[in-house]
Amino acid sequence: METAVETARVWIGGEWQDADTAAVFQAENPSTGEKLAPQFPVSRWSDCEKALAAAAEAARAMEEAAPERIAAFLEAYALGLASAADTLASTAQEETGLPFTPRLKEVELPRTIDQLRQAARAAREGTWRRVTIDRQRNLRSCLGPIGPVVILGPNNFPFAFNAVSGGDFAAAVAAGNPVIAKAHPLHPRTSQLLAEEAARALAGSGLPAAAVQMLYHVEPETGLKLVSDRRVGAVAFTGGKAGGLALKRAADAAGKPIYLEMSSLNPVVFLPEGMKENGSRWVGELAESCTAGVGQFCTRPNLVFLFGGEAAEQFLGDLASAFEKREPTQPMLSGAVWEQLDQSIAKLRKAGAELVSGGKKLPGEGYRYANTLLRLSGKQFLEEPETFQHEAFGNEVLAVTVRNEDELVQSLEHLEGNLTASVYSSAKGGDEAIYRQVAPVLRRRSGRMLNDKMPTGVAVSPAMNHGGPYPATGHPGFTAVGIPTSIARFTALQCYDNVREERLPRVLQAADQAT
């Protein structure tokens, strides 16, 4: 007789409740293929309805809460995460196959904790509010909370972008908004542990019980209904393009601001003089950036441009060797991610890209894939620029060898919006003329421009832009990383015209301004 597998409860209105369950699912260990307990529910609409009603109520109380309470909650939560580091990292490792150390415990979790603390500081200091006062006209404005924020997290950062602990979460809460988190189904147990820490921190905070809520999963139609509900203030999504665009259509039709991080090839351009001088160093940097975390970063380089010729052949040969030496021991996040990478590579090859190395699933346990290098001429790229901008999420890179500067510029002019664009060039000035042609073209097609540096690694700095033109995101004016800037996504501009002093929010009162 089989023991019934327990089904986890959703966190709604401050209570861990039995879900209104449409179906159940289990996470899987991608290193072994084994199913992990417990079962998690796919929620029906009634769970969303309850969460929305509670969030709408909580929004009002949050709006009136002292910034100190919000900051204290975020800090208590950060502290809780730090205490639970081992359990969190080992659970996340089981569910995602990402390394316990350094990645999960020493890099991603500390980053997540730091984000929560930076958000707490921003909440306390009010640096995100952009207070503007026109005394002569008795007119004041500031940014204020936008209302309940629905966050849908990605598969590739179980902590730092998790809907219930990551950058979107920290930013939404810092602005005084309740959050309805939709966990990613690849790491439900990690999300549950995070939410339990959030619940502990929330209990003592004086904030409303529904300030944070979490569902594990919903069916696609339910998700579309959720993000377009009238009680929602804004939506944040990190993930694939197809899902992102479906949510965007629903939210747009309902007039709900939606911030999406959907796809990016992160082009890297290697200029010819520098290539002669530093090609061998550049190979090492590119190999590292393409293969770190099995290439499962939004900012991994998926498309590189270099000038055809002897130096390029040397570079590509060295890159293939470096890829082969770095055969991944770490699996991909899931069987689906693994399959999708394989299919993407097949699609690029079918369209005419030549396989230089890799291009196959690796034998043995775990969803491992060989580091893959494809190549293509600039002429081929220009014939089908859309086809060759197909994102292959994982440890793959497509190198385009161009004949000359014109072909390079023409190719870059076909690029869609990206999170980043990098240019490597001679330190001695030999590439300046080309740089001046290339830089403006890349500038208009990327959120963050880099020189002599790979795009992986996104510092949590006020000067960061983790955003970019469509379809990398839905709006080029906002960043998902960097505090206080990222907070602006979850705010409304609130103006007070001739409003009596004692009725103004504290941040706009004269006494506050004088200090």
Q: Which residues are catalytic?
A: 261, 298
Quote the least distance from Cβ 234 to a copy of itself, whole Å: 9
Which of 433, 451, 512, 513 forms a contact with a copy of itself (CB under 8 A)? 451
Site string for a copy of itself, 247-276 (x = CB under 8 A): -xx--xxxxxx-------------------
Q: Supply the minimum distance, in Å, between the C-beta of residue 498 and a copy of itself.
A: 4
Tell me which residues in 466-505 interact with a copy of itself (CB under 8 A).
467, 469-471, 474-479, 485, 488, 491-500, 503
Residue 459 interacts with a copy of itself (CB under 8 A): yes or no? yes
Q: How far apart are CA 257 and CA 251, in angstroms?
A: 7
Q: Please state, in angstroms and as integers, the Cα–Cα distance from residue 91 to each residue in 29, 82, 84, 188, following that order.
A: 10, 14, 11, 10
Sign of torsion, CA 208 171 247 300? negative
Interaction of residue 54 with a copy of itself, rule CB under 8 A:
no
Cis before 102? omega within 30: yes
102 versus 429: smaller Cβ distance to a copy of itself: 429
Between residues 164 and 292, which has the closer beta carbon with respect to a copy of itself? 292
**CA 391 to CA 125: how far, in whole Å?**
40
Residue 225 or 475 having the CB closest to a copy of itself: 475
Comparing CA positions, the residue from 290, 245, 244 lying closest to residue 267 is 290
Q: Nearest approach, Cβ of 455 to a copy of itself (angstroms)?
A: 8
Count CA atoms closer than 13 A to 158's CA, side-chain side: 31
Taking the complex as a whole, the smallest distance from the CB of residue 491 to a copy of itself amounts, in Å, to 6
Can you tell me which of 134, 313, 406, 512 binds a copy of itself, judged by CB under 8 A? 134
Q: How far is CA 144 from the centre of its chain?
A: 24
Question: How many CA atoms within 13 Å lie on the side-chain side of 271?
Answer: 25
Minimum gap (Å) between residue 265 Cβ and a copy of itself: 16
Between CA 296 and CA 277 the distance in angstroms is 30
Residue 480: both structure tokens together: 């998902």
> Given the complex with a copy of itself, which of 222 and 228 has the nearer CB atom?
228
- Residue from the set 22, 84, 139, 507 that interacts with a copy of itself by CB under 8 A: 139
Interface of this chain with a copy of itself, residues 220 to 249, rule: CB under 8 A: 248-249
Which has the closest alpha carbon to 179: 87, 77, 108? Answer: 77
Asked whether position 510 contacts a copy of itself by CB under 8 A, the answer is: no
Please tell me the distance from the alpha carbon of residue 303 to that of residue 293, in angstroms, as a whole number.
Answer: 17
User: Hey, which residues does 424 pair with through a beta bridge?
Assistant: 270
Per DSSP bridges, beta strands 10-12 and 15-17 are antiparallel
Among the listed ranges 34-42, 128-136, 331-339, 380-388, the one in contact with a copy of itself (CB under 8 A) is 128-136
CA distances 15 to 7, 63, 195, Å, are: 15, 22, 11
Q: Of 9, 44, 200, 453, which lies in the binding site for a copy of itself, with binding defined by CB under 8 A? A: 453
Q: Which is nearer to a copy of itself, 128 or 216 (CB)?
A: 128
- Site size toward a copy of itself (CB under 8 A) is 67
78, 231 contact by CB (below 8 A): no
268 vs 397: CA distance, rounded Å: 10
Q: Identify the residue among 221, 443, 510, 512 touching a copy of itself (CB under 8 A).
A: 443
Residue 386, interface with a copy of itself (CB under 8 A)? no
Part of the chain binding a copy of itself (CB under 8 A), chosen from 75-83, 90-98, 210-218, 438-446: 438-446
User: Which of 13-21, 139-147, 331-339, 382-390 is the region at the interface with a copy of itself (rule: CB under 8 A)?
Assistant: 139-147
| Candidate segments 90-98, 107-115, 288-296, 448-456, binder of a copy of itself by CB under 8 A | 448-456
Binding test (CB under 8 A) with a copy of itself, winner from 30, 41, 97, 147 = 147
CA–CA separation, 181 and 192 (whole Å): 11
Residue 217 near a copy of itself by CB under 8 A: no
Alpha helices in 97-187 (DSSP H): 109-125, 167-174
Q: At what angle do helices 432-443 and 405-413 cross, to 10 degrees?
A: 10
Question: Is 428:277 a contact under the CB 8 Å cutoff?
Answer: yes
Q: Are 178 and 210 in contact (CB under 8 A)?
A: yes
* Interface ranges with a copy of itself (CB under 8 A): 59-60, 63-64, 132-134, 137, 139-141, 143-144, 146-147, 248-249, 252-257, 417, 420, 435, 439-440, 443-444, 447-453, 455, 459, 461-465, 467, 469-471, 474-479, 485, 488, 491-500, 503
